[in-house]
Structure 1
Amino acid sequence: MIRTRTRASAPDQACVAAVELARAAARELALPLEAGDHLGYEAEGDRIVTHFFACLDRAYRGWRWAVTVTRASRAKNVTVSEAVLLPGSGALMAPEWLPWSERLRPGDLGVGDLLPTAEDDDRLVPGFTEADEEVDHQMIFEYGLGRARVLSAIGRDRAARRWHSGDHGPHTPLAHAAPAQCSTCGFYWPLAGGLRQKFGVCANEYAPDDGKVVAADHGCGAHSEAAVMPPSPEQATPILDDLGFDLMVDEAGSVDESSSEELGHS
């Protein structure tokens, strides 16, 4: 095997020396700011050299002006070929662009916003595949009342995992401190269909999850059987000492206190 060595051509000295020509081109682009210090050069090919100058714009910190100069074969004059602003080491860059559908997060949808769903969304399947036992498929088909698309098995599975691992699932401080699970609560309304065994809706207006989908093994302190109030004790009738006493007067006309005290304590 024969190996051939390729030697990089030495930078063209006339292009290397054309710093002021390149600086003038950088200043023209940088207006109204000035181009900064010369940061060096890089040989791009035969008689092609790119000079770099610091960018003084605070909005482009870490960027640099790149001015490429060249000259024709056997020519003495160097000319500017290209001048651009390029990011350098540590330059502040915009994040990688993502389509809006991938940037959207739960809660981003506001009043009046529309969120179209792709035709091939794997969370949905055609409506005629719905398998609810309470649905009269023949009637829906004949009258055209069915939904165009319904939740697919993938969509149900994703929703179930998301709900079960969220704030209304079993792995929250609220659920751990609950006296019992939602599945045993009188305010728990099970969902219909394939999610019935795992999820329901809380119908307790005093519960923190009222009107929300909760996991069957979720729980809170507003459980219907959380605290059965003990019957109030019967009110005892107070015993009042309504026995009075009479003052007894002896033959001498004085009050007999001893007898009154005895009567008073009798």
Structure 2
Amino acid sequence: MALFKKTSKSKEVAGFDALDFARAAVLADAGDPTLVGEFVSVDFDDEGRIASYLFEAFLPAYKGWRWVVTVAKTDEDSDPTICDVVVLPGPDSLLAPQWIPYVDRLQPGDVGVGDIVPSSLEDARLVPGFAALPGDEDLDATQVWELGLGRARVMSIEGRDQASKRWYEGDRGPESAIAKAAPKPCSSCGFFIPISGSLRGAFGACANAISPEDARVVSVDHGCGAHSEATL
């Protein structure tokens, strides 16, 4: 019996009937008839010489997958030949999540003791050391680079923007609950140490041992109840 399949060019391609042959092959490969379900469909190549027979697969942990038996004929008079028997995911299969590169999977707190995160030359947050922003290095950036005394790379403008946005909108910015309840901002606190460089006007470090922000970067308009000039 001849089978037909419509191709993407809307023409009909004559095929061949090897359904029983394909089922016998998949049953032999499965080794257990309960693992093979009903016939699903058949798909032919454009010349009608290679067919892929699909059967339901009832394999543990492979919900929605299908047996695929590839059968070929060299010409109309030749006997069909089994090319391979595999299991492939169907439209409702349970699949593993799409792989994501490690650099995109890392989250704050993921790096622990002994962990190494390989650097990337394509990191947009970094630029060569000689491209440091004016005022961010104690010596002339070009001279430091030529003498081999500077860092190989420093933060780019994009990297600084990302960091300042993250810090300012985080728990140590002006919108946190503790900052809104503070009597005065960090900028007027005696324990506030401004950081150097281009972010000096926006951030500093807290040096108050009894403050919950001790040893952390805070915005100048952040605050807490341990302000040096706080009064009851």
**Is TM (by shorter chain) over 0.5?**
yes
> Given the superposition, is the C-alpha separation of residues 82 and 173 from structure 1 closer, same or farther in structure 2, using an over 3 Å criterion?
same
SS of the residue corresponding to residue 166 of structure 2 reads helix
Residue by residue over 1:88-130, the C-alpha shift from the partner in whole angstroms, topping out at 9 and shown as x without a partner, is 1221112222222222222221212222322243222222333
CA RMSD of aligned residues (A): 2.5
> Given the superposition, is the C-alpha separation of residues 28 and 201 from structure 1 closer, same or farther in structure 2, using an over 3 Å criterion?
farther
Counterpart amino acid of residue 132 in structure 1: G
Give the match for residue 41 of structure 1: 41
Kept in 1, the 8 Å contact 2:137–2:197? The answer is: no
**Larger strand percent:** 2
Count of paired positions: 220
Q: Write the distance in 1 (CA, Å) between the matches of 2:53 and 2:136.
A: 75
User: Alpha-carbon deviation of 1:227?
Assistant: 2.3
Pick from 152, 173, 177 the counterpart of residue 177 of structure 2.
173
What percent of counterpart residues are identical?
44
Kept in 2, the 8 Å contact 1:34–1:56? The answer is: yes
Q: Which sections of structure 1, spanning at least 5 residues, go unmatched?
A: 229-266
Q: Does 1:227 align with 2:231?
A: yes
If the length of structure 2 is used for normalisation, what is the TM-score?
0.82
Counterpart amino acid of residue 191 in structure 1: I
User: Alpha-carbon deviation of 1:68?
Assistant: 2.2
Kept in 1, the 8 Å contact 2:49–2:73? The answer is: yes
Give the match for residue 53 of structure 1: 55
**Structure with bigger gyration radius:** 1
Pick from 139, 148, 151 the counterpart of residue 152 of structure 2.
148
User: Alpha-carbon deviation of 1:164?
Assistant: 0.7
Counterpart amino acid of residue 61 in structure 1: K
Give the match for residue 206 of structure 1: 210
- TM superposition outliers: structure 1 runs of 4+ over 6 Å: none
Q: Write the distance in 2 (CA, Å) between the matches of 1:11 and 1:142.
A: 73
Pick from 116, 119, 125 the counterpart of residue 117 of structure 1.
119
Pick from 192, 196, 199 the counterpart of residue 195 of structure 1.
199
Kept in 2, the 8 Å contact 1:22–1:51? The answer is: yes
Q: Which sections of structure 2, spanning at least 5 residues, go unmatched?
A: 1-8
Q: Which has the higher contact order (CA 8 A, sep 6+)?
A: 2
Q: Where do residues 1-266 of structure 1 align in structure 2 (5 Å cutoff)?
A: 6-12=10-16, 14-15=17-18, 18-19=19-20, 21-31=21-31, 34-45=34-45, 46-75=48-77, 77-130=79-132, 131-132=134-135, 135-137=138-140, 140=144, 143-228=147-232
Give the match for residue 3 of structure 2: none
User: Alpha-carbon deviation of 1:134?
Assistant: 6.6
